């Protein structure tokens, strides 16, 4: 179980097509996972996700622990049954959300005490508690409890690694289920030596996969790409790599070029609720008056339900009227955009043409977006 087979590699980059075997099916990689924070991808039914071609979804340990509770989900058959998703599920450890709470949390060598964002009640996460919650939820892929430090503060990043690495060992010791793959999370900020040290520490533990955390949290796109350039030759080629919380299309393409296999992000659903659509080269903000009478679809080359049935003018009307259908249609388009991008990427890798595909795709984006790796 949890074998990773590489079917094709791009001769001019780190891109590869693979198959990651899980108890709930085989993931074709590179893959993008829509985020279902509270056991639902906002505005989407599970059948909608399947129709779009989604194969993996992510749910959030912190949020599900607080509401409705991990033990309730366990007693109702686990997350797959609870949310009616029969494909693979990934849960994060809750670490990112806990460390995002700022002054309402207190960290020590053993774990973190924090206040609920819902009612202010106090709770404590340790590596052991995070694993226990994730075992109750029952996802196929689970994450080690880690600290997500500010990426450019070297002194803090160094101190944080002295917690993250022992916490990973404690997660491994606490894990009891053989039907879940525990990924370690490589940290180290934007500092190449710390990133490499973190990766090598985790490689010695021979994990089924490796997550790359602490990116897309304020560093520049160039710093993100440089970090991936450091890790690509270091991380083992025969294990999947998961770039956490990254879903901007240009970042996904740059990640695949640098050997990343799995991505997730709230971006496509969040911007849909704010009235924006993903298009090649950026986004359309449908709140802008220029789309008031625009008869064109969001993208003329898009085959999604939204683009084949509705105009920008109609979608703008829905957004301005705050109609639920607007959220649904824009979410449908945005998820289709990213999932179709993954299909195009896999096809380009199969042909051995990822580099020219990426060059053409990235040429539509601003100059500050990294282009091809050397």
| Shared domain check, 309 and 172 | no
Is there a single domain that holds both residue 177 and residue 240? yes
The percentage of residues in the chain with a pLDDT greater than 70, rounded to a whole number, is: 99
Return all residues near 164 (Cβ < 8 A) that are at least 6 apart.
Answer: 146, 147, 185, 187, 198
Do 220 and 171 lie in a common domain? yes
Task: Supply the angle between the helices 221-231 and 192-203 in degrees, to the nearest 10.
Answer: 40
Asked if residue 259 and residue 295 are part of one domain, the reply reads no
Q: Identify whether the C-beta of residue 5 lies closer than 8 Å to the C-beta of residue 19.
A: yes
Residues 105 and 185 in one domain: yes
If asked whether residues 317 and 223 sit together in one domain, one would say no
The verdict on residue 369 lying in a domain is: no
Q: Are residues 293 and 260 in the same domain?
A: no
Give the tens place of pLDDT for each residue, 166-180: 999 999 999 999 999
pLDDT tens per residue, range 83-110: 999 999 999 998 888 778 878 889 999 9
- Residue 366 resides in a domain: no
Q: Are both 293 and 242 inside the same structural domain?
A: no
Same domain for 303 and 261, yes or no, is: no
CB 83 within 8 A of CB 49: no
35 and 128 belong to one structural domain = yes
Residue 14: inside a domain: yes
Q: Is the pLDDT of residue 374 over 60?
A: no
Question: What pLDDT is attached to residue 372?
Answer: 66
Q: What is the pTM of this model?
A: 0.97
Residues annotated as catalytic (active site), given as ranges: 92, 264
* pLDDT-derived band at 58, boundaries 50, 70, 90: very high
pLDDT in tens, 224-278: 999 999 999 999 999 999 999 999 999 999 999 999 999 999 999 999 999 999 9
CA atoms of 359 and 254, how far apart (whole Å): 10
Domain span holding position 347: 266-355
Task: Using the structure block, give the residue that is written with the tokens 């084949």.
Answer: 308
Q: Residues 126, 174: contact at Cβ < 8 Å?
A: no
pLDDT tens for residues 329-338?
Answer: 999 999 999 9
260 and 281 part of one domain: no
- For residue 126, the domain's CATH number is 3.20.20.105
Number of domains in the chain: 2
Domain boundary among 210, 233, 265: 265
Domain boundary among 234, 250, 265: 265
Q: Are residues 113 and 156 in the same domain?
A: yes
Nearest to 246 by CA among 272, 278, 215: 215
């Amino acid at each position: 179980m949890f074998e990773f087979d590489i079917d094709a590699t791009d001769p001019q980059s780190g891109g590869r097509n693979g198959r990651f075997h899980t108890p709930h099916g085989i993931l074709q990689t590179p893959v993008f996972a829509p985020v279902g924070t509270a056991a639902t991808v906002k505005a989407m039914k599970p059948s909608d996700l399947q129709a779009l071609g989604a194969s993996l979804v992510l749910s959030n340990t912190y949020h599900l622990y607080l509401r409705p509770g991990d033990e309730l989900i366990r007693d109702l058959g686990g997350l797959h049954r609870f949310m009616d998703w029969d494909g693979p599920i990934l849960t994060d450890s809750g670490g990112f959300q806990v460390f995002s709470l700022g002054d309402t949390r207190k960290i020590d060598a053993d774990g973190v005490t924090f206040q609920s964002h819902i009612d202010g009640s106090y709770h404590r996460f340790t590596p052991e508690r995070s694993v226990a919650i994730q075992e109750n939820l029952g996802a196929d892929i689970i994450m080690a409890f880690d600290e997500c430090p500010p990426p450019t503060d070297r002194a803090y990043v160094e101190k944080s690694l002295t917690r993250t690495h022992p916490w990973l060992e404690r997660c491994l010791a606490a894990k009891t289920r053989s039907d879940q793959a525990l990924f370690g999370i490589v940290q180290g900020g934007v500092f190449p030596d710390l990133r490499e040290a973190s990766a090598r520490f985790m490689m010695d533990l021979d994990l089924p996969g490796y997550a790359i955390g602490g990116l897309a949290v304020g560093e520049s796109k160039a710093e993100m790409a440089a970090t991936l350039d450091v890790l690509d030759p270091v991380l083992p080629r025969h294990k999947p790599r998961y770039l956490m919380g990254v879903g901007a299309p240009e970042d996904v393409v740059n990640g695949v070029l640098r050997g990343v296999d799995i991505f997730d992000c709230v971006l496509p659903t969040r911007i849909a609720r704010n009235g924006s659509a993903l298009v090649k080269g950026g986004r359309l903000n449908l709140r802008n008056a220029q789309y008031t009478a625009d008869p064109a679809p969001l993208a003329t080359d898009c085959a999604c339900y939204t683009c084949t049935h509705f105009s920008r003018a109609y979608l703008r009307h829905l957004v301005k009227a705050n109609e639920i259908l607007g959220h649904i249609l824009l979410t449908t388009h945005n998820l289709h955009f990213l999932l179709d991008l993954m299909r195009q990427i896999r096809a380009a890798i199969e042909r051995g043409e990822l580099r020219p595909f990426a060059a053409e795709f990235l040429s539509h984006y601003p100059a500050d977006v990294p282009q091809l790796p050397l």
